[in-house]
Amino acid sequence: MTDRSADTALLDAARALDEADPLAAHLDAFVEAPGVTAYLDGNSLGRPLRDVPEKLAAFVREDWGTRLIRSWDEQWMALPMELGDRIGAVTLGAGPGQTVVSDSTSVLIYKLMRGALRHAQGPSGAAQGPTGRTELVIEEGNFPTDRFLAEGVAAEMGATLRWITPDPVHGVTIDDVAAVVSGRTALVSLSHVDYRSGALADMPGITAVVHEAGALMMWDLCHSAGVVPMQLDDWGVDMAVGCTYKYLNGGPGSPAFAYLRHDLQGLLRQPIQGWWSAADIFAMGPEYVPADGIRQLLSGTPPVTSMLAMQGMIDLIEQSGIDGVRAKSESLTALAVRAYDELLAPLDVRLLSPRDPARRGGHITIGHPDFREVTRRLWADGVIPDFRFPDGIRLGLSPLSTSHAETVAGVLAVRDALESGVS
């Protein structure tokens, strides 16, 4: 008979942690998914809050349906900046007037990346501008959007790409960055949390090294905003972009946010000069004059409807405190690693994330040659992690919507699928 004592011990430990969890009451705030026993993909798409359907309905009935176009003047015009300030205050350590919600992650990265290179080239726009800074530094394993955009912007601006090749599990280090930056570096663009391994970069340390070289620093916060505390202002970060459909639970396609430090506003000129970034939106003047402040990062009409769902999650994070969210995140990933050690390591599964909870974000990644088929089986059985090429499963543990028991149940399901064999 198979000894399942390890299963019992893990489940008992998970229940004890859930009973002691100060954030456990928030689990009921999220919509139930019939047929799903373990949702382990909150780092790709956060679950909706229960009150979202009524909030959307009320918006249609009242703000849109009753107030009609009057709602632009009454509340919508300022929403990108007001919501940006809330995200900045609750999750980013950013003071007001530096964060705006608008566009997709890709569009905002493009705006800031191209603006930074143009600034480095100087007013002439020549590739060999007065600063001599013609290099854009990025990590070769970064998320495809970041890399593809860097390649495109470099080609547009006549810049040179410099690639960092970090350890695939532990991610980019200060030494990695120090080895590649120089007086030719215009911009360094990195992810705070590696989308594959979950490795957490040393944001203040790396930013300081980049500044010592005289370059600008941009961070992709897609896998850290809402789950990892940060202090963008205190750490001197120049610019950052993040999405809102992961740990901010804004729903599929919800708009991204951009952070641009106060003293860079007006110096970095973004390239998509739409009417919403004009100094006087309704002047309809003959030439473009950019707005003062963070509104200059806007382009077209903001996606107001898509900004609704995330607002309740920002409230929930504020109530919980980002440090409390981080503490539970570390507890969840630590339990997942313990379950991996006891249940999956004996089956030749590899741990593809840092072991130290302080060195990773809100997910861990495990690897095995059979994981593509395992993932297909798990999804059919109501256990939802995600698969990452070539052979990784990510266990994304969103702290406010995921329990310790759910985490262990997911790892048990991975074990059972492997032991049952794949075909």
Q: Annotated catalytic residue: which of 85, 146, 220, 386?
A: 220
Q: Annotated catalytic residue: which of 39, 195, 245, 259?
A: 245
Q: Annotated catalytic residue: which of 30, 39, 110, 143?
A: 143
Q: Annotated catalytic residue: which of 47, 133, 196, 246?
A: 246
Instruction: Name residues whose C-beta falls within 8 Å of residue 337's C-beta, 6 or more positions apart in sequence.
Output: 351, 353, 355, 364
Cα three-residue angle 234-237-243, rounded to 5 degrees: 110
Q: Supply the pTM of this predicted model.
A: 0.96
> Is 328 a known active-site residue?
no
> Is 387 a known active-site residue?
no
What secondary structure does DSSP assign to 85-148, as a single string?
HHHIIIII---TTSEEE-S-HHHHHHHHHHHHHHHHH-TT--TT-TT---EEEEETTS-HHHHH
Q: Provide the residue-wise pLDDT of the chain in tens; the chain has 423 residues.
A: 456 888 999 999 999 999 999 999 999 999 999 999 999 999 999 999 999 999 999 999 999 999 999 999 999 999 999 999 999 999 999 999 999 999 999 999 999 999 999 999 876 554 444 467 999 999 999 999 999 999 999 999 999 999 999 999 999 999 999 999 999 999 999 999 999 999 999 999 999 999 999 999 999 999 999 999 999 999 999 999 999 999 999 999 999 999 999 999 999 999 999 999 999 999 988 999 999 999 999 999 999 999 999 999 999 999 999 999 999 999 999 999 999 999 999 999 999 999 999 999 999 999 999 999 999 999 999 999 999 999 999 999 999 999 999 999 999 999 999 999 864
The Cα–Cα gap between 178 and 69 comes to 52
The Cα–Cα gap between 231 and 224 comes to 12
Q: Annotated catalytic residue: which of 326, 328, 394, 415?
A: 394
Which residues are registered as beta bridge partners of 99? 259
> Is 394 a known active-site residue?
yes
